[in-house]
């Protein structure tokens, strides 16, 4: 009985020692400054208006805030007022805030981290014949094909070219990009920029009528000629004449005009190719 009592007393004493140790010793997380959370921003990402930030000052929770950069490129920061962060990386922004805190004698040796939580300064837009049109916020450099991928690529009725609108020196500039060029050609590494608008038109069509085997509407591809269009329509009937081909085209005023067409003439959207029969 005495031995059992001694064993219980010893166990109770050990438990009290463990509990006391846990409460009296400082926790390990309080002994080291917090580490910056993993950021989605690349090292050279330059912040801009609309970006959401987490700013942490070690051991000073009243100065650890969440902020959003305004249209002027600034944030409102406690005790410092407005701080310009436009164009800075996370590290540069943290250094700037730390220096200002130190200059105002608010913290002797501030340990500051800045993390971009939401990216809105690099806003690009995709519209037209894509499954998921809308605005996209990019955290790093992306190509035109990357942006198309984010929008779900191109619908079956989408054209084989793109229109990219971009502001340069305050002026809007529109570029026509061949889909083959941006996917596997000379423009495959072309990068999108903040403010770009990428428009994917619906496919353009042309029409074939008259003495052809398969009259109807067909998809127009770039640089298509009359002879290529006729081959898509199955070629001429036995009575069709290669020298009596009429091209009907709507002018800028909306009026339809007819022209004698040569086999190497280029086809434009909504053109109608009419093949007449031979005279003999």
User: Quick one: average pLDDT of 243-266?
Assistant: 93
Q: What is the phi-psi region of residue 42: left when phi exceeds 0, alpha when psi lies from -120 to 50, beta otherwise? A: beta
pLDDT of residue 1 exceeding 70, the answer is: no
Q: Any idea of the CA torsion for 252, 255, 260, 266, to the nearest 10 degrees?
A: 40
pLDDT at 11: 52
User: Quick one: average pLDDT of 73-81?
Assistant: 95
Taking only the tens place, the pLDDT of each residue in 205-232 is 999 999 999 999 999 988 899 999 999 9
Lowest mean pLDDT among 4-13, 25-34, 70-79, 241-250: 25-34
pLDDT band at residue 27, thresholds of 50, 70 and 90?
very low
- Answer with the residue of higher pLDDT: 189 or 58: 58
User: Quick one: average pLDDT of 79-95?
Assistant: 95
pLDDT of residue 36 exceeding 60, the answer is: no
pLDDT at 31: 33
pLDDT at 154: 95
pLDDT band at residue 30, thresholds of 50, 70 and 90?
very low
pLDDT at 20: 43
Q: What Å distances lie between residue 77 and 66, 72, 106, CA to CA?
A: 10, 14, 13
pLDDT at 120: 81
pLDDT of residue 268 exceeding 70, the answer is: yes
What domains lie within the chain, and their CATH numbers?
43-118 (3.30.1950.10), 123-200 (3.10.560.10), 205-277 (3.10.560.10)
Q: What is the mean pLDDT of the chain?
A: 85
Which pair of structure tokens corresponds to residue 218?
């067909």
pLDDT at 42: 74
- Answer with the residue of higher pLDDT: 165 or 21: 165
Q: What is the enclosing helix (H) or strand (E) of 77?
A: strand 74-77
Residue 135, φ and ψ in degrees, nearest 5: -95, 145
């Amino acid at each position: 009985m005495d031995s059992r009592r001694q064993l219980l007393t010893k166990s109770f004493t050990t438990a009290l020692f463990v509990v006391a140790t846990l409460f009296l010793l400082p926790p390990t997380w309080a002994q080291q400054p917090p580490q910056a959370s993993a950021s989605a921003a690349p090292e050279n990402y330059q912040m801009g208006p609309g970006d959401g930030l987490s700013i942490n000052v070690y051991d000073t929770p009243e100065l650890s805030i969440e902020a959003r950069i305004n249209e002027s490129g600034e944030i409102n920061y406690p005790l410092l007022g407005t701080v310009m962060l436009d164009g800075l990386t996370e590290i540069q922004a943290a250094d700037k805030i730390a220096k200002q805190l130190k200059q105002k004698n608010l913290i002797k040796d501030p340990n500051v981290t800045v993390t971009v939580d939401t990216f809105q300064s690099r806003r690009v837009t995709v519209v037209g014949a894509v499954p998921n049109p809308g605005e996209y916020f990019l955290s790093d450099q992306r190509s035109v094909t990357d942006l198309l991928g984010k929008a779900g690529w191109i619908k079956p009725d989408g054209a084989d070219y793109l229109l990219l609108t971009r502001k340069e020196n305050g002026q809007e500039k529109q570029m026509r990009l061949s889909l083959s060029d941006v996917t596997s050609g000379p423009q495959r590494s072309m990068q999108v920029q903040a403010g770009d608008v990428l428009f994917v038109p619906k496919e353009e069509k042309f029409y074939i009528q008259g003495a052809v085997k398969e009259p109807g509407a067909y998809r127009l591809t770039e640089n298509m000629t009359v002879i290529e269009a006729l081959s898509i329509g199955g070629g001429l009937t036995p009575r069709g004449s290669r020298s009596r081909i009429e091209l009907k085209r709507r002018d800028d005023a909306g009026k339809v005009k007819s022209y004698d067409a040569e086999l190497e003439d280029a086809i434009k959207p909504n053109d109608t190719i009419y093949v007449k029969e031979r005279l003999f």
